[in-house]
A and B are shown apart, each in its own frame.
Chain A
Amino acid sequence: MSEQTTNPVGKSVPRVDAYDKVTGAAAFTDDLQFGPGLLFGRAVRSPYPHALIKRLDVGPALELRGVKAVVTGADTPGFIGLYLKDRHIFCTDRVRYVGDPVAGVVAASEEIAEEAARRVVVEYEELPAVLDPLQAIQPDAPLLHPDLGSYDVVPFIFPQPGTNISNVFRVRKGDVEGAWAQCDAVVADTYRVPHIQHVPIEPHVAIARWDLSGEVTLWSSTQSPFAQRDLIAHTLGISQGDMRVIGNYIGGGFGSKAGVSMEALAVAMARQVPGRPVKVRMTREEEFYCCFVRQGLVARVKIGGTKEGRILALQVEYYWDAGAYTEYGVNITRAAGYSSTGPYNIPNVKTDSYCLYTNHPVGGPMRGFGMPEIHWSIEQSVDQLAEALAIDPVAFRQRNCVQGGDVIVTGMTMHPHGLSECIERVAQRIDWGKKEVPSAPHKRRGKGVAACWKAPAMPPNPGSEAWVRFNEDATVSVGVGGQELGQGAFTVAAQVAAEALGIPYEWVRIANPVDTKYSPYEWQTVASRITWSMGNAVKAAAEDARRQILEIVARYWDQDPGDLDIRGGEVVSSKSEQSLSLRNLVVYGLPLPDDQGWIGGPIIGRGKFMPTYVTGLDPETGQGARAVVHYTTGAQAAEVEVDLETGRVELLCIAAAYDVGKAINPEQVHAQLEGGVVQGASSALLEALTFQDGRPVNASFVDYRIMTAVDAPQRILTDFVEVPQDDGPWGARGVGEHPMIATAPAIANAIYDALGIRFNDLPLTAEKIYLALQGA
């Protein structure tokens, strides 16, 4: 405790987890040691994108020495899913994607489990597959979920039984048809976004154990210990009180470890071998398509504006290639719908966002939750319209970007925010408007800009809970249920607690790992909601503890609590100028005068936060009072150089600026922006999960390439502005996902500036660009 950082909010204190992570001490789920009793599970997976299971014979697997149990769909008849329960843990009668689990084998070693899994005999009857969302929506397309009408679903999702549409979100605002005639220019185009994968460096892993007492413990690399507890317990008929999920450090999530994907397999397998822990670990190859992938998208956009530079009308159709099960993806469709204008004030809007079942891997949440995909089309369309109207793209965005007080696409009134300033800053950072000289005659340079917005996409009422508990020496344990995925959640929680308590940052310990048996509730670590929501809960808990302390000391000193404060770990009185160390009193309380007894006792503060003001939206028009809690806005600008002889794009500079409300830890904000920019750039230039007849053909690091240290842009210039959020801790709102949203369209707009060629489909590979240059 040599360093003493008081009032740490707004300061770039070092991460609470850095020391453990550089020494190898930080325990990730696969690092936990279970001793020789540990068993291993492997899944038997469908080789077909769509087929009926005609026969399943597990006999040959059971014959292998070391095999302990086999589990099939017959053992797990219920449905599971976050928003729409459309998925079995193991398939019962039908498989819907290559990789769909049909059985699980538990054995003494991973090697035996794998060998046994290969011996399970499954006879399939192949069915015609649906491999394109535009095919899926046709009336005569094979129906992937005939029972769609009977699935449990939350009230704000609208499946269309008898079709492959598992959700539809519509906006009808103003008069789009009438508005086209008033436009001086209208542009229309179709954009495609391929499936990509999150590629956390840590693959999914889960260990489950059913105790003979009935308690079920799941250790998993998860963003969502509580959601996993709830969903798995519900499906397997366990009381939430008997289901315990322990989440250690996570080696990157990016959404892939939200909700439930492979973790339920481990729990179902463990049920067969009571008392024994069973570990299920995804190989890197499985990681690419057996958990979640980012959904594919076909976007049709028509946008029009006036020569004065106003966007008048927007019509969009989003066809989401959401995969075999859309239990989570249905809400991406919804988020895409209610944010379909991008961060622009457009009076006339018609949006249809369809969530479509296909025989592709299961689409799930990924950093940005639909926003990188839709902004790919929006931000290029805005550039196209600006060009058609002969207006500078930066000026055009400034003229149309949504302002505080505007009534946005869903009828909600926008809160104050700093998008205009973000656009201004990124434009300045790359010397917008200045033509740069290429580094060689066979190269071309260009600059592009893109803006974005994103709201936390979640149910209206996701809760956060926290506690703050003092130790004898006045150090503090902070209980949180949010997860540390690398984004710095624990560090922020510690800063918030220290600030609100009035103690140095170095006195705070985070009570990790998150364990649903002991840790406070947190819905999920998703949606860039943790700094804001969990931050509010921690702040409330700290304030509760602080209040308790001040009341005790006020009594002790016979003063008014209002005259007391805690500063630097001491209670001080502005009235009497007395001070008192927190040591001991926070556990043992204080003696009353003349040995007349004691007051106080162990201090534990509790806090919670849940938004209470989000309203429903009209299913026909998408209109309502408040669709979301808030939006985080921002912008990026890219400067690129394209090699005409190879098509290779060099990212010379990417500038990013976001309105974070309040940067609790400025350096961590910069770090989030840098990481998001590179993940966005990687998706822009390199990434696509490629399928042949529904089978992934590049599901390994050999052929699914992500950016390395040499590919990442060397100049990433990050900025933030701080227009406070009215209900955020010190005004903070989240920014975890946003840096990935604007990157790809900013790069595409820069490439257009360099080459005069517009690319509608991601990724912007060197090959695609070169071949387009030959055709141009």
Chain B
Amino acid sequence: MANHAITVTVNGVKERVDVPSNMTLLEMLRQRLALTGAKNGCGAGECGACTVLLDGEPVNACMVLAAEVDGAAVVTVEGLAQDGQLSAVQQAFVEEGGVQCGFCTPGMLISAHALLQRNPRPTEDEIREALVGNLCRCTGYTRIVRAVQKAAQGGVE
């Protein structure tokens, strides 16, 4: 089985990684780059705990082969804070109580961040629809939705 020498920009840093064909992007991030923010919750694209940005758009990292991302840019939850400052959506999750166990949080934040990038003033229904692929078993979603609303308002100022 051939390995692929790929170049991928992760959280702004250019990485050269040798990956086997059957390695997923999620495995590459967690095992090769020790970026364990994205989580493995199902391995089947259903729970969203592994959501990362691939060239700016959220994807399930368990459903992407590492070999596919040669030349691409990936952003994980570790890349959301800039210069030690939490992003608007991270800050809002802290303030509004959008976090309980924290396992869905990295994927939830990426989906929320991506939503606000494409739709800075989403309605509550739009927020909920955008998070359909991110399962949470702790919060009941209420405070997550509120946090995204708060981040959206903050982003306008």
> Do A and B come together as binding partners?
yes
Assess whether A251 is interfacial by the CB under 8 Å rule: yes
The answer to whether A249 and B42 have CB atoms under 8 Å apart is no
Assess whether A678 is interfacial by the CB under 8 Å rule: yes
Q: Which residue of B lies closest to A20 (CB)?
A: B102
A109 → B minimal CB distance (Å): 10
A648 → B minimal CB distance (Å): 16
The answer to whether A22 and B93 have CB atoms under 8 Å apart is yes
Given A674-B140, A679-B140, also A252-B103 (CB < 8 A): yes
* In the complex, chain B residues 69-98 whose Cβ is within 8 Å of any chain A Cβ: 76-78, 80-81, 86, 90, 93-95, 97
Assess whether A21 is interfacial by the CB under 8 Å rule: yes
Assess whether B101 is interfacial by the CB under 8 Å rule: yes
- Contacts between chains A and B (CB distance < 8 A), count: 172
Assess whether B13 is interfacial by the CB under 8 Å rule: no
Instruction: Provide the bound-state CA to CA distance between A28 and B136, in Å.
Output: 16
- Interface residue from B34, B90, B132 paired with A708 (Cβ < 8 Å): B132
The answer to whether B100 and A23 have CB atoms under 8 Å apart is no
Instruction: Provide the bound-state CA to CA distance between A713 and B46, in Å.
Output: 21
**Chain A residues near B105 (CB-CB < 8 A):** 21-22
Given A22-B90, A201-B47, A201-B137, also A485-B77 (CB < 8 A): no
Which range holds the interface residue count of chain B? 35 or more
Q: Which residue of A lies closest to B142 (CB)?
A: A674
Instruction: Provide the bound-state CA to CA distance between A712 and B104, in Å.
Output: 16
The answer to whether B140 and A678 have CB atoms under 8 Å apart is yes
- Interface residue from B43, B47, B94, B134 paired with A709 (Cβ < 8 Å): B134
Query: Contact flags (1/0) for A703-727 with B, using CB distance below 8 Å?
Result: 0001011101010100000000000
Assess whether A273 is interfacial by the CB under 8 Å rule: no
* In the complex, chain B residues 21-56 whose Cβ is within 8 Å of any chain A Cβ: 22, 30, 34-44, 46-47, 49
The answer to whether A202 and B39 have CB atoms under 8 Å apart is yes
The answer to whether B90 and A249 have CB atoms under 8 Å apart is no
Assess whether A17 is interfacial by the CB under 8 Å rule: yes
**Chain A residues near B109 (CB-CB < 8 A):** 22
The answer to whether A678 and B47 have CB atoms under 8 Å apart is no
The answer to whether B144 and A709 have CB atoms under 8 Å apart is yes
Instruction: Provide the bound-state CA to CA distance between A33 and B94, in Å.
Output: 27
Query: Contact flags (1/0) for A9-22 with B, using CB distance below 8 Å?
Result: 00000110111111
Assess whether A199 is interfacial by the CB under 8 Å rule: yes
Given A24-B36, A671-B97, A679-B140, also A709-B103 (CB < 8 A): no
Assess whether B145 is interfacial by the CB under 8 Å rule: yes
Instruction: Provide the bound-state CA to CA distance between A111 and B31, in Å.
Output: 14
Assess whether A284 is interfacial by the CB under 8 Å rule: yes
Assess whether A177 is interfacial by the CB under 8 Å rule: no
**Chain B residues near A21 (CB-CB < 8 A):** 99, 102, 105
Assess whether B129 is interfacial by the CB under 8 Å rule: yes
Given A18-B94, A284-B44, A702-B46, also A671-B143 (CB < 8 A): yes
Assess whether B127 is interfacial by the CB under 8 Å rule: yes
Instruction: Provide the bound-state CA to CA distance between A14 and B94, in Å.
Output: 7
- Interface residue from B100, B127, B140, B143 paired with A488 (Cβ < 8 Å): B100
Assess whether A283 is interfacial by the CB under 8 Å rule: yes
Assess whether A27 is interfacial by the CB under 8 Å rule: yes
The answer to whether B101 and A251 have CB atoms under 8 Å apart is yes
Assess whether B5 is interfacial by the CB under 8 Å rule: no
The answer to whether B128 and A709 have CB atoms under 8 Å apart is yes
**Chain A residues near B47 (CB-CB < 8 A):** 201, 284, 701
**Chain B residues near A674 (CB-CB < 8 A):** 139-140, 142-143
Assess whether A200 is interfacial by the CB under 8 Å rule: yes
**Chain A residues near B86 (CB-CB < 8 A):** 19, 22-23
B48 → A minimal CB distance (Å): 9
**Chain B residues near A677 (CB-CB < 8 A):** 140
The answer to whether B41 and A284 have CB atoms under 8 Å apart is yes
Assess whether B106 is interfacial by the CB under 8 Å rule: yes
**Chain B residues near A18 (CB-CB < 8 A):** 93-94, 99
Assess whether A161 is interfacial by the CB under 8 Å rule: no
Q: Which residue of B lies closest to A487 (CB)?
A: B100
- Interface residue from A24, A203, A250 paired with B77 (Cβ < 8 Å): A24
**Chain B residues near A252 (CB-CB < 8 A):** 100-101, 103, 137-138
Instruction: Provide the bound-state CA to CA distance between A662 and B124, in Å.
Output: 33
The answer to whether B95 and A14 have CB atoms under 8 Å apart is yes
**Chain B residues near A203 (CB-CB < 8 A):** 40-42
The answer to whether A701 and B44 have CB atoms under 8 Å apart is yes
- Interface residue from A202, A249, A678 paired with B41 (Cβ < 8 Å): A202
Assess whether B114 is interfacial by the CB under 8 Å rule: no
B43 → A minimal CB distance (Å): 6
Q: Which residue of A lies closest to B125 (CB)?
A: A710
Instruction: Provide the bound-state CA to CA distance between A200 and B77, in Å.
Output: 20
Which label, helix, strand, loop or mixed, suits the secondary structure of the B interface? Answer: loop
Q: Which residue of B lies closest to A26 (CB)?
A: B102
The answer to whether A201 and B101 have CB atoms under 8 Å apart is yes
Assess whether B63 is interfacial by the CB under 8 Å rule: no
Given A200-B103, A201-B41, A202-B101, also A708-B137 (CB < 8 A): no
Assess whether B131 is interfacial by the CB under 8 Å rule: yes
Given A22-B109, A701-B46, A709-B127, also A668-B97 (CB < 8 A): yes
Assess whether A320 is interfacial by the CB under 8 Å rule: no
Given A486-B102, A671-B100, A701-B42, also A679-B132 (CB < 8 A): no
**Chain B residues near A14 (CB-CB < 8 A):** 94-95
**Chain B residues near A140 (CB-CB < 8 A):** none
Q: Which residue of A lies closest to B107 (CB)?
A: A201
Interface centre among B76, B134, B139, B144 (most CB of A within 10 A): B139
Q: Which residue of A lies closest to B31 (CB)?
A: A33
Q: Which residue of B lies closest to A202 (CB)?
A: B103
**Chain A residues near B100 (CB-CB < 8 A):** 252, 486-488, 671, 675
Assess whether A473 is interfacial by the CB under 8 Å rule: no
**Chain A residues near B104 (CB-CB < 8 A):** 201, 251
Assess whether B17 is interfacial by the CB under 8 Å rule: no
- Interface residue from A23, A253, A710 paired with B81 (Cβ < 8 Å): A23
B94 → A minimal CB distance (Å): 4
Given A23-B86, A709-B131, also A200-B141 (CB < 8 A): no
Given A486-B102, A701-B44, also A706-B140 (CB < 8 A): no
Assess whether B135 is interfacial by the CB under 8 Å rule: yes
**Chain B residues near A250 (CB-CB < 8 A):** 101
- Interface residue from A27, A679, A716 paired with B137 (Cβ < 8 Å): A679
Instruction: Provide the bound-state CA to CA distance between A708 and B104, in Å.
Output: 12
The answer to whether B142 and A716 have CB atoms under 8 Å apart is yes
The answer to whether B94 and A24 have CB atoms under 8 Å apart is no
Given A23-B78, A708-B132, also A486-B97 (CB < 8 A): no
Assess whether A577 is interfacial by the CB under 8 Å rule: no
Given A26-B102, A486-B100, also A710-B128 (CB < 8 A): yes
The answer to whether A201 and B136 have CB atoms under 8 Å apart is yes
Interface centre among A488, A677, A710 (most CB of B within 10 A): A710
Interface centre among A253, A486, A668 (most CB of B within 10 A): A486
Assess whether A753 is interfacial by the CB under 8 Å rule: no
**Chain B residues near A30 (CB-CB < 8 A):** 36, 39-40
Assess whether A667 is interfacial by the CB under 8 Å rule: yes
Assess whether A376 is interfacial by the CB under 8 Å rule: no
The answer to whether B102 and A712 have CB atoms under 8 Å apart is no
* In the complex, chain B residues 101-120 whose Cβ is within 8 Å of any chain A Cβ: 101-106, 109
New A-B contacts (7) at CB < 8 Å, excluding given A201-B137, A710-B132: A24-B106, A201-B104, A250-B101, A674-B143, A708-B135, A709-B127, A709-B136
A-B contact pairs, 23 of them (CB 8 A): A17-B102, A18-B93, A21-B99, A22-B93, A22-B99, A23-B80, A23-B90, A24-B78, A33-B36, A111-B22, A201-B104, A201-B135, A201-B136, A251-B39, A252-B100, A674-B142, A700-B42, A702-B44, A708-B131, A708-B132, A710-B128, A714-B124, A716-B142
Interface residues of A (CB under 8 A from B): 14-15, 17-28, 30-31, 33, 111, 198-203, 249-254, 283-284, 485-488, 667-668, 671, 674-679, 700-702, 706, 708-710, 712, 714, 716
Instruction: List the 7 closest A-B pairs by CB distance, nearest first.
Output: A24-B37, A251-B103, A486-B101, A21-B102, A678-B140, A486-B100, A701-B46
